[in-house]
């Protein structure tokens, strides 16, 4: 009798394990496919995915306060935050520097940033494309790109454009995270930066979420 019950349970347990393994394999394959596809044809994050930027889990490993501290801005700095998205980091950055220009190619993201920065006198919103920044040359102390560079088809050219708007001695701060489907390893960003004439002067975080600082080589 006991044997008969055990025999009935075992196939069901196997079916459960198989289903779990199949789901895991399917998810992994879908992730790999998505990441390879995005690597070949980078695109800006669709507006409908905005919730991904603000989810509580991301807020933990990309805590806006900690990120803004890690940027080590001075209170007189003029900063350009490229691809500000929903404005998750903009208010914290504004509290640590002289002025922030928050730029995005998607006007609906800028509208969200406007809500978060309402009443902050040192924030300007700018609709524009990183490929041709609507900013004068040499006027900025820092350019910050969090999960943006990898959305561009020509990251090296984008970094050269960031260099154009920086003052001599200014810094470019780049953050990427594994959670983003367009993720690349830190060494890839180093290689892009090197090709643009930059050298890394700082690195924080780990392979899952890093923040790297560059200056003109």
Nearest to 135 by CA among 155, 163, 110: 163
Among positions 78, 93, 104, 123, the unique one binding ligand SAM when judged by CB under 6 A: 104
In the region spanning residues 111 to 140, those forming contacts with ligand SAM, defined by CB under 6 A, are 129-131
Q: Is 105 in the site for ligand SAM (CB under 6 A)?
A: yes
Q: Which range, of 9-17, 31-39, 82-90, 189-197, touches ligand SAM by CB under 6 A?
A: 82-90
Residues 6+ apart with CB under 8 A from 77: 97, 98, 99, 141, 142
Distance CA 200, CA 26 (A): 38
Specify the DSSP class assigned to residue 8.
Answer: H
Residue 20 beta carbon to ligand SAM: minimum distance, rounded to whole angstroms: 30
Among positions 123, 125, 148, 149, the unique one binding ligand SAM when judged by CB under 6 A: 148
Q: Which range, of 24-32, 71-79, 101-109, 190-198, touches ligand SAM by CB under 6 A?
A: 101-109
Determine contact, residues 169/184, Cβ cutoff 8 Å: no
Nearest to 89 by CA among 144, 34, 150, 159: 144
Distance from the Cα of residue 130 to its chain's centroid? 14
Q: Is 166 in the site for ligand SAM (CB under 6 A)?
A: no
Q: Is 162 in the site for ligand SAM (CB under 6 A)?
A: no
**Which residues of this chain interact with ligand SAM, rule CB under 6 A?**
44-45, 53, 82-85, 88, 103-106, 109, 129-131, 146-148, 151-152, 180
């Amino acid at each position: 009798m006991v044997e008969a019950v055990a025999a009935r349970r075992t196939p069901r347990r196997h079916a459960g394990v198989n289903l779990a393994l199949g789901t895991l394999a399917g998810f992994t394959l879908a992730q790999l496919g998505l990441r390879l596809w995005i690597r070949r044809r980078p695109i800006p994050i669709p507006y409908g995915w905005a919730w991904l930027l603000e989810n509580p889990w991301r807020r933990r490993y990309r805590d806006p306060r900690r990120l803004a501290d890690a940027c080590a801005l001075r209170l007189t700095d003029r900063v350009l935050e490229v691809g500000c998205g929903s404005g998750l980091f903009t208010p914290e950055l504004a509290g640590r520097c002289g002025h922030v220009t928050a730029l995005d190619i998607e006007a609906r993201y800028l509208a969200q940033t406007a809500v978060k920065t309402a009443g902050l006198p040192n924030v300007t919103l700018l609709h524009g494309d990183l490929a041709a920044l609507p900013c004068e040359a040499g006027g900025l102390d820092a350019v910050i790109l969090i999960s943006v560079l990898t959305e561009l088809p020509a990251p090296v050219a984008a970094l050269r454009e960031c260099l154009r708007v920086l003052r001599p001695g200014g810094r470019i701060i780049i953050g990427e995270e594994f959670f983003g489907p367009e993720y690349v390893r830190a060494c890839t960003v180093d290689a892009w930066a090197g090709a643009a004439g930059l050298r890394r002067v700082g690195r924080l975080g780990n392979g899952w979420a890093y923040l790297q600082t560059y200056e003109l080589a």
